[in-house]
Each structure stands twice: as structure tokens, then as C-alpha cells.
Chain A
């Protein structure tokens, strides 16, 4: 068992690692709550254009026709991606405004997969429409501060993990003479809050650790993909260069057909158009995944030449991106139906209680010390 001095050290680390990240974790827990039910809320706010409850329809309209409609609406903008989401019966076209300039920005349009009719364009008067779930997601992902905000959340996540580890170390001596689950709220309020903090914290420790660690991994998504693009993707395309970037002979429609024929086991999810910035200036990057619960998370890609319409390379993702992909369901809790989502929300509420009870204990201790010194 830890002696008095080392116990005080663990307590200091636990107090300050949790205090520093408490506000951020409260923000994450509160914004995470509606995000647990993202699909349900989104279905309610934007019902499927094809049929109630239908989330996945293969496009029946030629992709070229959809792209032409997008171009008619934004003649000056370039294409950045096409996506065929699993959870929404639409074809999304990503476009780039002010391409190649400092003001370059992304926007998207959604089209009906069967009729090709424009369903949604969130750009209103040149500015993107603000939606509740998007706001929640932006706060949850980056505190509305872009990549620096995401890195702040990485640090806060690591502090949270430190708080969990030190919390377990402290749980042992504090609960040595008490039975599991004892809450002495009626006898002594301060001890009661500590007991409540201990009970809620230790019972949900495994869930908090899983969600905390996978959350930290998820914050690294952008830098990890950037590393892969700059290193592995470039190496894969080293021998397949082309002299001209303009005047692609292979249309997106043909590139998709070639990619589909080359990956019969996969379901295509998105296509990134040739991009200098993303290190595939002469190739379409076509992403696909499997059909099972696990393989749905594991993406694979083929690089289709925009010049010759042939598959020039197949991208197998490295271990760090596989780890990232597998960490997603463990963070989102979206693989066990509504039952798991409800449990996720309840665990989230318990985590809020753990944070609040921790703050109450700290404030109570400070007050106690002030009273003694007075």
C-alpha cells in the first residue's frame, strides 16, 4: 500500500490532472450526448428522400449528370469529392470555392440517388447554414478552433486518462475499510460526495477509459491521415507520375466503374478527385469498405489514373490508421443498436456526475482549509 507521502503525490496528480480537464470534459460530455443519437436526430430532422428508414441506395442517375447539375449551380468551383454515405440515401458532391487561393473553402451539395434532384445546399448567401448537430460536432471535435482546438482536446484526453489511473491508485486506500458502493451521504455530506465520486468513478472506469483513450486517438485523425498521404501515398505513386494535371481523360464515372470492378468485395463509399495538396495530383482516390460490423470500419483504397483510367495502386492502410478506424466504434458506441446508444448516453451522464462530484469535493476541501486557517 502507498505510504503517506506517495499517497499525497498521487492525490496531487489526480486533483490537478482532473481539475485542468474538467471544464473541457464537461463540454465534451454535454456535446457528446446529442451526438450519440446523431443518426436518429438526423433522420428526424432530414427524413430519407427515397423512403422512410431507407439509408443506403446505389445511385441510379449517371454521376456525370449529377456533377453537371452541381457545376451549373457553382460554375466557378472545382470538385473535391463524391460520397455515398452508408447512413443516408444521398449522393454528396464536395466542391472547392476559390480553388488554389488563400480563400479556398469546401462546401457540398446533396442529390437524390434515384432522380438526381438537388436535395440540399447548405450555402445561403455565400455562407454555410448553421445546424444544431454540426455545431455540436464542431465543438466536440475541435472546440470551434480547428486543428489547434483538436490538439488541446488531445492533451485534455491524456490528462483524463492520467486522472483515471491515479483515481484507481487512490481508490484502494480510500475504500480499504468500506464495502463497495457505500455512500455515507446521510451521515456526512463531504464523505458522501467522496463516496459517490468513488462509486460512480470505479463502476464506469472501464467505459470512461475506453471512450477516453479512443477519443484521444480520434483527435489525431487529421495529422495521421496527412502523414499517410505525404509518406505512403506519395511512395505508392512514385512510379506513376504524369506530365500534365489538366484535361483528365478519365471521367469520374469511368474511374468509379474501374474501381468497382477492381474491388468486387468492397462497397465504395467516396471518391477524392485528383489533388496536388492531398498528394495524388493525377489520380482518383476511391475508398471502399466491407459489409460486416468490423470490416465496415476498415477502409481500403484504389488509385485510378485520371489519364488512363487504370488502377495504378491499391492502398493498404498502415497500423496506425487501422487503430484509428477500429477506435471509432468504441468511441461513438454506434454498433449495438439503440440499446447501446441509450447505455452510452447514461454512461455519459454518470461521467458528468463524476466530474461534478469531483469539483464539489475539491471546493469543499478548499473551504475546509480556509476555515481552519481562519
Chain B
């Protein structure tokens, strides 16, 4: 499986969707869209806090 699948793809999709919908989408979706932009940061923190593999 390509290493670009999974985490990297999710980060890119959520960032671009979040940025696009927050600007161009309806107002009701603005906050959820902005929160999508946080997904890469959450993934980074999750992986940095994870116990290193033995």
C-alpha cells in the first residue's frame, strides 16, 4: 500500500475541504469546516504522544 494513503491522504482531504467549505460554503457549515482544518494537528499530537514501537 502506498504510504500516501491513510493518514497523509486524510490530512490533505480534511485541510482542503475545511478551508474551501469555510470560505465558500454556507454559514452554518463554517465552524465544522474550520474544525476539519484541525485534523492534521490532532493526528500529529496523537502520533507524537504515542508510545514508540519496541
- Do A and B come together as binding partners? yes
Residues on A facing B (Cβ under 8 Å): 168, 171-172, 175-176, 178, 180-187, 199-200, 202-207, 210, 293-294, 329-330, 335-337, 339-340, 343, 346-347, 350
Residues on B facing A (Cβ under 8 Å): 2-4, 6-8, 11-12, 15-16, 19, 22-24, 27, 30-31, 33-35, 37-38, 40-41, 43-44, 46-48, 50, 52-53
CB distance B23 to A294 under 8 Å?
A: yes
Q: Which of A200, A206, A339 contacts B16 (CB 8 A)?
A: A206
CB<8 Å pairs between A and B, sample of 25? A181-B47, A182-B47, A184-B52, A186-B52, A199-B48, A202-B8, A202-B11, A203-B11, A204-B40, A204-B41, A204-B44, A206-B16, A210-B15, A210-B19, A294-B23, A335-B22, A335-B23, A336-B23, A336-B31, A336-B33, A337-B34, A340-B22, A343-B38, A347-B40, A350-B41
Determine the distance from Cα of A171 to Cα of B53 in the docked complex, in whole angstroms.
20
Q: Which of B8, B23, B48 contacts A329 (CB 8 A)?
A: B23
Residues on A with beta carbons closer than 8 Å to the beta carbon of B46? 181
Closest 4 pairs between A and B when the two form their complex, measured CB to CB: A181-B47, A180-B7, A206-B15, A175-B3
CB distance B37 to A172 under 8 Å?
A: no
Number of A-B contacts (CB under 8 A): 99
CB distance B43 to A181 under 8 Å?
A: yes
Residues on A with beta carbons closer than 8 Å to the beta carbon of B8? 171, 180, 202-203, 205
Give me 12 other A-B pairs in contact (C-beta within 8 A), A205-B8, A336-B22, A336-B23 excluded. Answer: A168-B4, A171-B8, A172-B4, A180-B3, A187-B52, A202-B7, A203-B7, A204-B40, A294-B23, A330-B19, A330-B23, A337-B34
